[in-house]
Structure 1
Amino acid sequence: MDLLTDILHEAGLKRRLLDLRSLDAQTPLQFPCEKSMGLHVVTRGRAYIHSASLQEPIALEAGSVVLMARGCTHVLSTSPNYDPAQVRSVTGDLAAIPLAYSPSPGTSTLISGAYQFWHDPVHALFREIPAWFVLDGQSLSKFHPLTLTIGLLDEELSKPSMGGQTIIYGLLDVIFTYLVREMVDQQGHARAGWSQGVADLQIRKAVTVMHEDPAYAWTLEELAKHAGLSRTLLAERFRRTMGDTPLSYLRTLRVQKAMTLLSEADHTLEHVARAVGFSDAFSFSKVFKKIVGQSPSDFRRQAKLDQASPWKMRAG
């Protein structure tokens, strides 16, 4: 079981290509991030990120990548200062994105994407994502996987050919996944949380079996057996590294899975409850509302409204 892939899938992640262009000094771009994690890859030149939450702009050199948490609305420009009157808002209109272009001398080239959610994910991983996570291209070796991937992206942008759109989308996904993986590795050394928990191989074994079958009626004793620990030691290490208990983590997994089921089909609440491991709809609804802040019925109605939005969930 690939834990990261499973978490991103259950969160309902949808990729949208927001912009692909040569960025000139006259056209700063504003990126809304209400429902998404943003991603910028600078393939040539230099760009700056401006936001009310930043004390000073973030400088991005060629080969740099940055991941923005949800809600981090920002402006991208080619200089530390820009004219607010010249800012253009990026709407994510895929039809308007030029997938083939020739950069002018002196411009910066970049690709920008958004990874949107059908709903607000409740998994602990998403609480660990910092507002701004930057990997400086100058700090990466020329053989680092991200460096090589960005090189392939730059090659595809500068020499467009048949199948280029598929390649660009695929490379964007690779870069996004490498960024999240790097973020997990760094967070695992910083503080207690999901990233630190799965860095412990025995705790990861217990987490993995819960992800493989969240509907199963796991007991602490069974999880401890899979982890190769006593019940007491599993409970202590799980709480110390993850900041949670094993059975509380399991309930969150079940609710996240239920959010997907409620979003995708008109199953009865009883069906959803049993599908994710609850004995009945009443107990399921109680836990769901405690974790999500909405009843399952209210959540389903909101999910349908979000899915009907003409731009929020458009995937590239």
Structure 2
Amino acid sequence: MRQHLHNYQNCRYHEMTASGLARHKTFSCGLNILYSNIGRNTRQQSEQLRFFEYYSLAHLYRGSGIFLIPGGKPIELHAGDAILIAPGFLHYYGPCHDKAGFEEDNICFFGELPDFLFANGYLQSRIFSQGTTRILEPVHSRLNSGDLLEQLHGVLDFQALLLGLAAEHGSPQQIERRSPIERLLYGIWQNPSHWWTVEEMAQFCQLDRERFRNAFRAHTGSLPKAYVDNFKIDLARHWLETFDWTIEHISRNLGYTDKFHFSRRFKNLTGLAPDHFRRKVREKQAATPPESE
């Protein structure tokens, strides 16, 4: 079992990814734990969108916070809320502006079992009420034991917990119960390189153009074309802050014709060229003292 190597904030920087850890000789079962942490006190607010290359289950047991997705309204989080995040789901959750923050336990994982549950509607990115009893703490204790059998028991305990959550909060019909707009938004988030036209989105939702525009705006607060444009730029901001990818690489992964087209759109919407934006972020990061554990 891979030991706890990085603090929670590093998860968003992809220092632990399925692509790297899957090659470890102990990661060979259908449910594999990448990382577990308990008692994390989150106070610093960034509202920076992020996504994971793995699944994450977080449980807030004290305090309050907010949850955001692109184009969506902020959702207030309370003690007892649990958050399940699937790979590729663009989101943010953190402390409220005027609150002291929250304390959480979380486990990041991947494997054939969660992939199967997700594909069949039993797991999905969502918030659900779980109570303030710390359900992940005993799992964490076993996962971080020095005894291999105890670690394997921790994996089995987490598997039982995950199956229980799937039985309580998911069903094969869950995917079908999503509204057409919700299914469209999920498609946009899962494939950021695709350029959705308004006609294509309306056809996906089986609505005429005008009814679709009205329904989309009512759901997201944004018009469809502006939403897709802003989604790509929000994701570009995240990548520029997080990775050392070239501008050409980012533009290609967001579906722009070339890096010049991307740079123009980025500057139009943010006021800064991509290189200038990254430089300012790095200067700010270098000047900010690290958060104390």
- TM-score relative to the length of structure 1: 0.43
Q: Give 1 or 2 for the bigger CA radius of gyration.
A: 1
Q: Compute the TM-score of the two structures, normalised by the length of structure 2.
A: 0.46
Q: Which has the higher contact order (CA 8 A, sep 6+)?
A: 1
